[in-house]
Amino acid sequence: MPSANRAKSGRLVILARVDTLASAIENSGIWPLAIFLAIYFPLTAFLASRKLMWDDEFYTLYVSRAGSLSEILKPLATGAEQHPPLFLLLVHQIMAVFGPSHLTLRLAAIFGYGLFCICLFFLLRNRTSTLWAMIGMLLPLVAGPAYYYAIEARGYGLMLGFCALALLSWQQAATLEKRFGWLCLLFCALAMAVESHYYGILFLIPLGLGELTRTYLHKRLDALIWLAFCGAAVPLLVFLSTIRHTRQYSAHFWAIPYWSKVLEFYPSFLVTPITIFLFSVLVIVYFIAGLWPAEWRFSLPEERAATSGLPAWEIVTWIGIVAMPLWAMVLAKFVTHGYTERYAISALIGAFLVICHTGFQVAPRIRMLPFTLCVILVLLFGLQGILVYRSQSIALSALVENMKVLAPYTAEPAVISDSAVFHRISFYARREFQRNFAHLCDSAVAVKYLGHDDQSLLDLRPWFPLNTVERARYENEHSEFLTYGTVNEWNWITFFFTAPTYKTSLLARNGTRLLLHIERVAPIPASPQEILHGAAGESLFARMRTSGPSLCEEWFPGDRLCTAVRQKSAATNSYPNYRNPPSR
């Protein structure tokens, strides 16, 4: 019995020390931010430097290389790239200052997502406790589908950050007497949110609803805040002509809006094994919380307690942000005709705020609960980092496998039908390896089989180093060729080149991807439009060298990922002069 008492006493001493640490963090405004910065930026930068680029990121890279704003506006004038110009200019400037690499290409996204998390901390700290605010700051790090946009070279992470900053600025401007700086920050944050992605304009809806509610309750109009809201309109007015060019793609845009997709947003972003595990931990701790000493409970300072209540106008705003997928779908249905979940990603700001504020109100007021969750979140972020790194290693192996399948056939005309594989081989493979590989485009055929067109790569040929060719022209020049890709809803090649006009034979298989030999055995049926259109200028691919290192090694000198691809794909160079393919 004495030994049992000593063990129990020892456990209480350990728990007391842990509670002391929790109390120190709760009463500190620096430690939570220091812990976040210490884990977020190093791990995220490491993952960003090891991640292969995919389709959309190549758009960012190729257009941002144009340099000045006037040069960037030229490819944007085609309407084929729909990200705002200042975001692309920012990416260009970052790479010009820090040197081009996979990491610097994604620095803007890393900064934006980090800003999003930090703003959640301050938004929640004003309404809950420091530890629950820290949970809100760490939760986005383990929400895998959302965290992905911290390491993707597109504007979604930056839009998240500036929308969260706009919400924080509005909250402060609505409650503080000395608010001129917050009003200026609100104006700039909204402008930058829209300049990161045009769907950022939708964030005005919940802010406007909240301010209308505040106006009704206070019986007065706050003209300065409404004036600050006008910041969101600045990018739209300045680049209105560029935005108009994108409408030519709206008729057959790939991201077709369906009302049912509104209901898919939160399950796709938030219902993950990690979030289910965290909910289970919260439930378990809830039922044992009553056994803990009263001195381990929260004791908020008077100045914090006075502001911890949630005003009605802020509740309206949070609900409006949660409803962001609905606003995005309405805009898509009646104006843009394009919707995918990431367009409404700013809804996560409201979701995390509601989750953490509800947890603070419902959960037992003991410091150990949020502290335990914070520790678990830090550990899970490290685990997720390992899983993300492993997935990128698998992606690198998949790229090398694709190159190995194609290596014996590099002397023959070949079509890579999967755009992701085509992009990566064009960028990561040596020039002599991929000089005969092409990607075919035909808007009419794509719309017929896929429901959306594929003309963007044709329009961007003067700026993209890709061998993109009109289908009709390629057919006229080649009576037989190879094609490599997957049979799925994103690939019309295998649906089009069929009997009786073509004879198809299987040469090799790599998982779900097939290498086929296609031979024309009958006259091509008459077509009212043989060639879709010409590019607005000479193709960049036609001006490039046909041998030498990959574009990755040339454009990102010293980048470790480029070196890793070259080393792992060394076996694909073993075919002498690429001129002796196996017999068929």
Model confidence at 569: pLDDT above 50: yes
Mean of pLDDT over the chain: 86
571 or 124: which leads in pLDDT: 124
Q: CA 133, CA 368: separation in Å to the nearest integer?
A: 14
- Residue 366 sits at φ, ψ, to 5 deg, of -115, 140
Model confidence at 305: pLDDT above 70: no
Q: Are strands 468-470 and 437-441 parallel, antiparallel or unpaired?
A: parallel
Task: Look at residue 442 in the predicted model and tell me its pLDDT.
Answer: 87
Report how far apart the first and last C-alpha atoms of the chain are (Å, whole number). 82
Reported as a pLDDT band with limits 50, 70 and 90, residue 19 is confident
Q: CA 44, CA 162: separation in Å to the nearest integer?
A: 19
Reported as a pLDDT band with limits 50, 70 and 90, residue 300 is low
Task: Look at residue 450 in the predicted model and tell me its pLDDT.
Answer: 81
Task: Look at residue 298 in the predicted model and tell me its pLDDT.
Answer: 57
Q: CA 330, CA 48: separation in Å to the nearest integer?
A: 34
528 or 561: which leads in pLDDT: 561
475 or 45: which leads in pLDDT: 45
Structure tokens at 369: 């609960």
Across 19-33, 210-224, 349-363, least confident range: 19-33
Model confidence at 582: pLDDT above 50: no
Task: Look at residue 217 in the predicted model and tell me its pLDDT.
Answer: 92
Model confidence at 522: pLDDT above 50: yes
Model confidence at 581: pLDDT above 70: no
The DSSP bridge partners found for residue 504 are 518
Q: Cα dist. 164→35, 263, 527 in Å?
A: 20, 23, 52
Model confidence at 111: pLDDT above 70: yes
Task: Look at residue 339 in the predicted model and tell me its pLDDT.
Answer: 86
Task: Look at residue 318 in the predicted model and tell me its pLDDT.
Answer: 96
The DSSP bridge partners found for residue 515 are 484, 508
pLDDT in tens, 530-562: 444 544 567 889 888 888 999 999 999 999 999
Q: Cα dist. 498→312, 449, 485, 503 in Å?
A: 63, 13, 15, 7
Q: State the amino acid at position 258 in one-letter form.
A: Y
Reported as a pLDDT band with limits 50, 70 and 90, residue 527 is low
What are the residues whose beta carbons fall under 8 Å from the beta carbon of 347, sequence distance 6 or more? 265, 266, 321, 322, 323, 324, 325
Question: How is the chain split into domains, by residue range?
Answer: 6-246+256-297+310-390, 410-578
Reported as a pLDDT band with limits 50, 70 and 90, residue 7 is very low
Task: Look at residue 577 in the predicted model and tell me its pLDDT.
Answer: 43
Q: State the amino acid at position 349 in one-letter form.
A: I
Reported as a pLDDT band with limits 50, 70 and 90, residue 482 is very high
Could you tell me what percent of the chain has a pLDDT over 70? 87
Kindly report whether the peptide bond that precedes residue 500 is cis, defined as omega within 30 degrees of 0: yes
Mean pLDDT throughout 190-216?
A: 95
Mean pLDDT throughout 63-72?
A: 89
Model confidence at 579: pLDDT above 70: no
How many CA atoms are closer than 13 Å to the CA of 568, on its beta-carbon side?
Answer: 18
Model confidence at 583: pLDDT above 50: no
29 or 316: which leads in pLDDT: 316
Q: CA 216, CA 206: separation in Å to the nearest integer?
A: 15
Task: Look at residue 196 in the predicted model and tell me its pLDDT.
Answer: 94
Model confidence at 580: pLDDT above 50: no
Q: What's the pTM?
A: 0.90
Mean pLDDT throughout 448-460?
A: 83
Reported as a pLDDT band with limits 50, 70 and 90, residue 467 is very high
Task: Look at residue 484 in the predicted model and tell me its pLDDT.
Answer: 94
What are the residues whose beta carbons fall under 8 Å from the beta carbon of 374, sequence distance 6 or more? 25, 131, 134, 135, 138
Reported as a pLDDT band with limits 50, 70 and 90, residue 13 is low
Q: CA 570, CA 553: separation in Å to the nearest integer?
A: 14
